[in-house]
Chain A
Amino acid sequence: MSFLITTLIFVAIGVIASLCTGICFNRGISANLFHQTLFITATVCCWMMWAIVYLAQMKPLIVPILSEGE
C-alpha cells in the first residue's frame, strides 16, 4: 500500500510542479512545455530511483547480518 501512496505523492508533486510553471512563470506555450518536460522528466527519474530501492527491499532475500564487533 505504501508503495502506491508514495507514488501518488510523486505524481502529485510532478503535476503541481508542471502546473506551477504554467501559472507562475508563464513565458509562452513553447517555453512552458519545455519547463513541464523538465519537471516531468525530473519527477520520473526521482520516482524511478525511489521505486527501485523500495521494491528491492519489499521482499528481502538477504537480511542484514550484523558484524561481529557490534
Chain B
Amino acid sequence: MAETRGGCGPSMDLFRSEAMQLVQIIIPIESAHLTVSYLGELGLLQFKDLNSEKSPFQRTYATQIKKCGEMARKLRFFKEQMLKAGLTPSIKSTRADNDIDNLEVKLGELEAELVEMNANGEKLQRNYSELVEYKLVLQKAGEFFSSVLNSATAQQREMESQQTGEESIETPLLEQEKFTDQSKQIKLGFIAGLVAREKSMAFERILFRATRGNVFLKQAEVEEPVIDPVSGVKIEKNVFVIFYSGERAKNKILKICEVFGANRYPFTEDLGKQAQSITEVSGKISELKTTLDAGMIHRDNLLQNIGDQFEQWNLLVKKEKSIYHTLNMLSLDVTKKCLVGEGWSPVFATKQIQDALQRAAVDSNSQVGAILQVLHTKESPPTYFRTNKFTTAFQEIVDAYGVAKYQEANPGVFTVVTFPFLFAVMFGDWGHGICLLLATLYYIIREKKLSGQKLGDIMEMTFGGRYVIMMMSLFSIYTGLIYNEFFSVPFELFGRSAYACRDLSCRDSTTMGLIKVRDTYPFGVDPVWHGTRSELPFLNSLKMKMSILIGVSQMNLGILLSYFNASFFRNNVNIWFQFVPQLIFLNSLFGYLSLLIIMKWCTGSEADLYHVMIYMFLSPTDELGENQLFPGQKTAQLVLLLLALVSVPWMLFPKPFLLKKQHENRHQGESYALIQSTDDSLQSETNHNSHGHGHEEFEFSEVFVHQLIHTIEFVLGAVSNTASYLRLWALSLAHSELSSVFYEKVLMLAYGYNNIMILIVGIIVFVLATIGVLLVMETLSAFLHALRLHWVEFQNKFYEGDGYKFLPFAFALLQDEEE
C-alpha cells in the first residue's frame, strides 16, 4: 500500500499514520493459545472478526469464555467481601502461579470456604445479636417491672397506712370500694421485645387502635444502636412491654409485632428468675463473642491472603478471557488442525510478530510453526499514530473531531504549536500564564505518582492535558509580554516608551495626546498606552488586524496541507482543480487584505481599508482617490478580482468531468479481465468480502453535487472563516478588560482606603476573582475557541477525518478497562 503512494523527502513522525498491512496468520491449534497470548503481550495486531455471523454461543471457545466469566464473578465476589471488610487489594505484586487451571480450582476452593465462613458467621452473628437484644429486654423491662413494683408496694403501703392511720368518718365507704376493686383484678398477660425507634410511634398507634385502647404499652429507649438480628444493620431501638388482657388481644399484638419487625423475647415477672437469665445470657454472649472474633480473624486472614494476590489473579483472568475472545475471532480450518486469523498490523511490527509466533511455537512444543503472510486488500487500513506522553493529548484533540483517514496529513503536527498559540492570543497575560504554568508543573513533576492513582473526573482531564496546558501557559507568557500585561499592569521591560509630551509643560497630553519621539518600543505594546483614553481604539484596531493576519496564515497552512495530501496520494486532479484555485481564491481576497493591512502599517497611510475592500467588489473600475496605497492598485485589484471570479468555476467544473473520464478509462478493459488463477481462489474464498474489486458505480450527478457543495462551502467559508478568526480579538479584549477591572476596581480601590483590613479583603476578592474568572473560566472559554478554530477553520481546508483507530489486541490496554 505504502509503495503506491508518493512521498516528499523523508517521512515525518506523526505527520502520516503508520503504514499498515493486512496479515494472515495460520496457527496450529495446539499452540494457538500461547501464540495469541504472546501477540497480546506484543500488542501490535488488531484481529478481524472472521466469525461475525456466528453468535457468541456458536463459537469455538464459548465454554472457556464461560469459565473465565465464572472466575471473574468469583473475583468480583472476593472484591465485594474485601470492600465489606474494609480491605483494599494490595498493589504490590506477589508472584502468583500463572496457571489458569490451578487458579480455577483455587478460586473455587476459596469461594466455597468464604461462603461457608460467611454463612457460619452470619448464623453466629444472628444468635449473638439476638442474645444482646434479649439481654437488653431483660435489663430494661426488669428495671421497669421493679420500678412499677416499687411504686405499687409504695402505693399499697400508703393505702394500708391510710387504712390504719387516718381512720375518719369518711373512710369506711371508700375502703369498701377499694377492696372490691382488688377482688375484681384479672390476670394480665404481657409481651416484651424490641422495636425500631423510628417505627415505635406507629407501632404504638396501631396497637392502640387494634385493641381499642385495651393495652398498656411501656417503652424505654436503648441508648446505643443495636444490630438487628434479621437484617444485620445497626439501628436505634426501643424496648417495649405490652400488657394486655385476653387471648384475642394477644394474637392481634403478636401479628402487629410481626408486621413491625419487633422481636419478642420471653420474660418472667419473677425477679429471681430475671437475674438468673441475665447472668445466663451474659455468659452466652461472651462465649459467642470469642467464637465470633476468632471467626472474624480467620476470615480477615483469608481475605488478606486473597487481597495480596487479587490484582494478579484479576489480570490473569482478564487476559485469559481476552485471549479466548480473540481466539473466537479466528476461523477454524477445514482440517480442524489450524486456526486462521486475519488482522491489521503496522509494517514495522512484522519482525516482532514473527518473533512472537516463533517463540510461541517453540514454547508450546508444536511441531509446526505458525505462518504469517501479508494479504493485499483494497480495504482502508486503520489509523495508527505512535504518540508519546507529550503528543498524545494533542492527538486526542484532533481525534475528538475525527480520526484521520489512513495516512492522511495529520493536523496534530501543527496543533502542538498552533493550538496553544491561538489560545495564548486570547489569554495574553504573563502573570496569568505563570500561574497556569505553576499549576501544570505540579502535575508534571508529580506525574509518576499521579498517573498511578485514581483521580476525579476533572482532575483526570486536566492531568491528561498537562502538557497541553504547559504549552498554553508558555505561549501565554510570551503573548503576555507582547501585550505587555502582567495582571493587567504594564512594565517597561524592553526599554523606554517611544512617546513623550509635545512640550515641557505637558499641557495638551490629555487633549492632543503624546507624540512619538523615539524608535518604536522594541518588544510588544508600548506601556504608555495603558490607561490612556485612546487605549481601546488602538488595541481594537491592532487586535482585529492581528486576528485577520493570523487567520489568513493558518487557513493558508490548511490549504497547503491539502496539497501535501494530494501529492502524497498522487491525486493530480486535486492539486490542479482544488488546491490551486482555493489558494488563489483565498489569497486574492483575504491575502490581499492582509497585504493592505501590512502596507498601511508600514506606510502610515490613512486609507480606509473597509472602503477599499467593499468597493473592490461594488465598483472595481472606480478611482481609489485618497484610499490608494500603492501605484497601480486599481489594476492589481481588477486582476485579483478576476482571478477570484475565475477560480470559482475552476474549482467547480473540471473535477467531476475528469473523475468521470478516469473512471471510464479504468473500466474500459474490464470485460477482458483475467480469470482468477486457481492459486488465488483459496485465499479469495476466505477474504471474499474484503477483496471487492472496485466495481462501484460512478454516479456523475452525485459527484457533481458533492463538488458543488464543496465549492460553495469553500467560497462562503473563506469569508465566514476569516470573520470567525475575529474571535481572537474579542476574547483577547474580554480577557484584558476583565483583568483590568479586577485590578482597578478591586485591588486599587481597596488600596486607596489606606486601611489594612479593607486591603486584605480586597486582596482576597482579587485573588478569588482572578482564579475563578480569569484562570478557570477564561482558560476554558479560550480553550474552546481555540478548539473551534482548529476543528472548523483550519481542518476543513484539508482534513477528511473519516478513518478508524487502530485498536490492537494488547494486554497493556486491559489494565485500564473497568468493568
Chain A positions near chain B (C-beta within 8 angstroms): 2, 6, 29-31, 33-34, 37-38, 41-42, 45-46, 48-50, 52-68, 70
**Can you list, as one digit per residue, whether each of B723-764 has a CB less than 8 Å from chain A (1) or not (0)?**
000000000000000000000000000000000000000000
When the two chains form their complex, are residues A66 and B533 in contact, meaning their CB atoms are under 8 A apart? yes
| A11–chain B nearest beta-carbon distance, Å | 16
Query: Is B519 interfacial (CB 8 A cutoff)?
Result: yes
Q: What are 28 A-to-B residue pairs whose CB atoms are below 8 Å? A: A2-B519, A2-B520, A2-B522, A6-B522, A30-B12, A37-B413, A41-B417, A41-B418, A49-B550, A50-B523, A50-B524, A52-B545, A53-B542, A55-B601, A56-B541, A56-B545, A57-B498, A57-B520, A58-B602, A59-B603, A63-B514, A63-B515, A63-B534, A64-B532, A64-B538, A66-B513, A66-B514, A70-B531
Given A29-B10, A41-B417, A58-B520: 19 more A-B contacts, CB < 8 Å: A34-B413, A45-B475, A49-B425, A49-B478, A49-B479, A52-B546, A55-B602, A56-B601, A60-B604, A62-B534, A63-B515, A64-B499, A64-B513, A64-B514, A65-B534, A66-B509, A67-B533, A68-B510, A70-B510
CB-CB nearest in chain A for B529 = A64
B456 interface residue, CB < 8 Å from A? no
Cα–Cα distance between A68 and B508 once the two chains are bound (Å)? 11
Q: How far is the CA of A41 from the CA of B553 in the complex (A)?
A: 12
Question: In the complex, what distance in Å separates the CA atom of A33 from the CA atom of B661?
Answer: 39
A9 to chain B, nearest CB (A): 10
Contact of B510 among A50, A62, A67 (CB under 8 A): A67
Chain A nearest CB from B393 CB (Å) reads: 14
A34-B14, A68-B510 known; A57 vs B531 contact (CB < 8 Å): no
Residue in contact with B525 in the complex, picked from A37, A38, A42, A53, CB distance below 8 Å: A53
Given A64-B514, A65-B510, A67-B532: A52 in contact with B413 (beta carbons within 8 A): no
One of A2, A41, A45, A64 near B535 (C-beta < 8 A): A64
Q: Is the CB of A30 within 8 A of B514?
A: no
Interface of A is mostly: helix
Task: Give CA–CA (A60, B521) in the complex, Å.
Answer: 12
B712 at the binding interface (Cβ < 8 Å): no
Q: Are the C-beta atoms of B537 and A62 separated by less than 8 Å?
A: yes
Q: Mark B405-437, 1 if CB is under 8 A from A, else 0.
A: 000000001101110010001000000000000
Q: Which residue of chain A is the closest to B16 with respect to CB atoms?
A: A30
In the bound complex, what is the Cα–Cα distance between A31 and B386 (angstroms)?
Answer: 11
Which residue, B12, B15, B537, has most C-beta atoms of chain A within 10 A?
Answer: B12
> Could you tell me which residues of chain B, from 479 to 528, have a CB within 8 Å of some CB in chain A?
479, 482, 498-499, 509-516, 519-526, 528
Chain A residues contacting B421 (CB-CB under 8 Å) are 42, 45-46, 49
Nearest chain B CB to A41 CB, angstrom units:
4
What number of A-B contacts does a CB cutoff of 8 Å give? 134
Closest B residue to A27 using CB positions: B13
Which residue of the partner chain, among A34, A60, A66, A68, contacts B13 with CB atoms under 8 Å? A34
- Are B513 and A45 closer than 8 Å at their CB atoms? no
The digit string for B271-285, where 1 denotes a CB below 8 A from any CB of A, is 000000000000000
Closest partner residue, chain A, to B416 (CB atom): A38
In contact, B604 and A53 (Cβ under 8 angstroms): no
Top 7 closest pairs, chain A to chain B, by CB: A59-B604, A65-B513, A34-B13, A63-B513, A41-B417, A55-B601, A64-B532
The reply to whether A65 and B524 form a contact with Cβ atoms under 8 Å apart is no
Neighbouring A residues of B512 by C-beta, 8 Å: 63, 65
Q: Does B293 contact A (CB under 8 A)?
A: no
Contact (Cβ within 8 A) A33 B10? yes
**CA–CA, A29 to B522, complex, Å?**
37
A46, A52, A70 pick with most chain B CB within 10 angstroms: A52
**Residue from A46, A49, A64 having most chain B Cβ neighbours under 10 A:** A64
Given contacts A34-B413, A53-B542, contact A66 B10 (CB under 8 A): no
Bound Cα distance from A37 to B417, whole angstroms: 9
Cα of A31 to Cα of B10 in the assembled complex, Å: 10
CB < 8 Å neighbour of B601 from A34, A37, A41, A58: A58
Which residues from A are CB-within-8-Å of B529? Answer: 64
Which A residue's beta carbon lies closest to that of B391?
Answer: A34
Q: Are B513 and A6 in contact (CB under 8 A)?
A: no
Residue of A nearest to B12 (CB): A33
Within the assembled complex, what's the spacing in Å between the Cα atoms of A35 and B487? 33
B429 CB to nearest chain A CB (Å): 14
A63–B13 Cα distance when bound, in Å, is: 48
Task: Pick the contact of A49: B413, B482, B513, B516 (CB < 8 A).
Answer: B482
- With contact pairs A50-B482, A66-B533, A67-B531 given, residues A61 and B12 touching in the complex (Cβ less than 8 Å): no
Chain B residue at minimum C-beta to C-beta distance from A36: B12
Task: Provide the residues of chain A in CB contact with B511, threshold 8 Å.
Answer: 65
Known: A6-B523, A49-B479, A53-B546. A61 touches B604 (CB 8 A): yes
Across-interface contacts of B499 in A (CB, < 8 A) = 63-64
User: Which chain A residue has the least Cβ–Cβ distance from B471?
Assistant: A42
- Nearest Cβ on chain A to B15's Cβ, whole angstroms: 7
